[in-house]
Amino acid sequence: MGAVSLSLLAAGCGNDSSVADAAAAKTVSYWLWDANQLPGYEACARQFEKGNPGLKVDISQIGWDDYWTKLTASMIAGTEPDVFTDHITKFAQFADLNVLAPLDELPATKGIKDSDYQPGLAASWVGKDGHRYGSPKDWDTVAMFYNKKLTDAAGVSADTLNSLAWNPDDGGTFEKTLAHLTIDTKGRRGDEPGFDKHNVATYGLATNDAGSADGQTQWSAFAGSAGWSYTDKKAWGTHYNYDDPAFQSTIEWYFGLAEKGYLAPFKEFSRSNGPDIQLGAGKAAIALHGSWMTKTFYGLKGIEARTALTPIGPSGKRATMLNGLADSLTKRAADKPAAQKWVAYLGSEECQKTVGTFGIVFPATKSGTDAAIAAYKKDGIDVTAFTKPVADGTTFPFPITDYAADVAALMNPAMQDVYANGKPASGLTETNSQINLILGQSK
């Protein structure tokens, strides 16, 4: 775990009074997982400290793989940070543990309004009890990254990629394009006679695991554009819909692309061989992924990365998941007044615009988003594929329910069975029944 302490020391720090002042400063501890975002929040901390003499912020950046384990352990041990970056899939768990402070009851944060942020972001952080437990931080959507050299060579234009449509029967123009972009080891494309699906040099679509319970960067955009919803409610659903024929036909078609040779097989994916690596190595022409990966894809050497909108589905519309992170305040914060000031500042226009200028994520406020768009543009990156769905209202929320970890534990092997072992998607009906039985305990 790497910790970065940020404090604004007064000039002449060698004298005794200034040393005493520094020693007496109240410290707010803050945890986040994304190293790429660290510089932006370091800048926010410096601004915060300047505007709040006597307070300083101590930031710890912990990688995603260790973040939640250490955070949960710290909650149990009573050594948790004052403030931390929260994810919607973990929200219910922490709410159930009763370790989060209700922001709407605290002076500095009670004024948070849905209208202050991009639509839908603030509402996701209201618990079943009606209290707010997260201050919107940023948002992300999913789009198609593609290797322009490969699409140009195949005669597939940007306009074509942005107008693709799919359906579960014949795959539509999306599947036809994937087939044309797929090339076997003898140079034959997927739509040409003699194509060998067992010996593929370049797949039309990169793999990104089986997607577990949410399929955020795998199948969620397709299921959403088929008119399907994860649960019976936008937030705090009481049952899942993995038994819906619209969902199962989508999954059958999506993973069936691997059987046809157009989607990289399950065995191709690993932590060290994600969609970005596959695209960068010329092993895939297109990869669905989140906006947080933009700089990674555009930084790949030897390729020209571009983005395109997700395909139009059977519903006649596009769809992409809108996920938003938040900053949460722990109940046992050492200095709650100081910690809530930091939470309020993180959600302020000043901090959000500062984070936006780094061009790593889209901050939750409109001005923060605009700052990020400008930063990306300065780097020659067009992010319309990510921002247009928000402007058009074609997004859907991350599912919020109790027992999210149990849902994932059941869905992960079930989805892998469909992808890796060719099991029929109809088998998800039984998994769905098991999930809803667990959810019934929370009623």
| Predicted local confidence at residue 222, as pLDDT | 98
| Predicted local confidence at residue 16, as pLDDT | 37
Q: Do residues 235 and 396 touch, judged by C-beta distance below 8 A? A: no
pLDDT (tens digit per residue) in 68-80: 999 999 999 999 9
Percent above pLDDT 70 for the chain: 94
Residue 79 has, within 13 A of its CA and on its CB side, a CA count of 5
CA 353 to centroid of chain Cα atoms: 20
| Predicted local confidence at residue 25, as pLDDT | 65
| Predicted local confidence at residue 4, as pLDDT | 38
The pLDDT confidence band at residue 262, using thresholds 50, 70 and 90, is very high
SS3 for 308? Answer: strand
pLDDT (tens digit per residue) in 297-312: 999 999 999 999 999 9
| Predicted local confidence at residue 260, as pLDDT | 98
pLDDT (tens digit per residue) in 147-192: 999 999 999 999 999 999 999 999 999 999 999 999 999 999 999 9
pLDDT at 17 exceeding the cut of 90 = no
Secondary structure in 3-state letters for 331-376: CCCCCHHHHHHHHHHHCCHHHHHHHHCCCCCEECCHHHHHHHHHHH
Instruction: Give CA–CA dist 425/243, Å, rounded.
Output: 9
Instruction: Give CA–CA dist 92/405, Å, rounded.
Output: 10
Please choose, from the candidates 92, 26, 8, the residue with its C-alpha nearest in 3D space to the C-alpha of residue 328.
92
| Predicted local confidence at residue 266, as pLDDT | 97
| Predicted local confidence at residue 93, as pLDDT | 87
pTM: 0.92
- Across residues 132-149, what is the average pLDDT? 97
Residue 384 has, within 13 A of its CA and on its CB side, a CA count of 7
Tokens representing residue 22 in the block: 């520094």
pLDDT at 14 exceeding the cut of 60 = no
DSSP 118-159: STTTTGGGB-TTS-B--EEEEEE-EEEEEEHHHHHHTT--HH
Select the more confidently predicted residue: 15 or 429. Answer: 429
pLDDT (tens digit per residue) in 26-49: 999 999 999 999 999 999 999 999
pLDDT at 3 exceeding the cut of 60 = no
pLDDT at 1 exceeding the cut of 50 = no
Please choose, from the candidates 368, 346, 374, 337, the residue with its C-alpha nearest in 3D space to the C-alpha of residue 41.
346
pLDDT (tens digit per residue) in 50-74: 999 999 999 999 999 899 999 999 9
Beta strands at 362-363 and 135-140: parallel, antiparallel or unpaired: antiparallel
SS3 for 10? Answer: coil
The pLDDT confidence band at residue 87, using thresholds 50, 70 and 90, is very high
Show the domains of the chain with their CATH numbers: 2-139+324-382 (3.40.190.10), 142-321+399-442 (3.40.190.10)
Instruction: Give CA–CA dist 214/193, Å, rounded.
Output: 37
Q: Do residues 117 and 348 touch, judged by C-beta distance below 8 A? A: no
pLDDT (tens digit per residue) in 232-242: 998 899 999 99
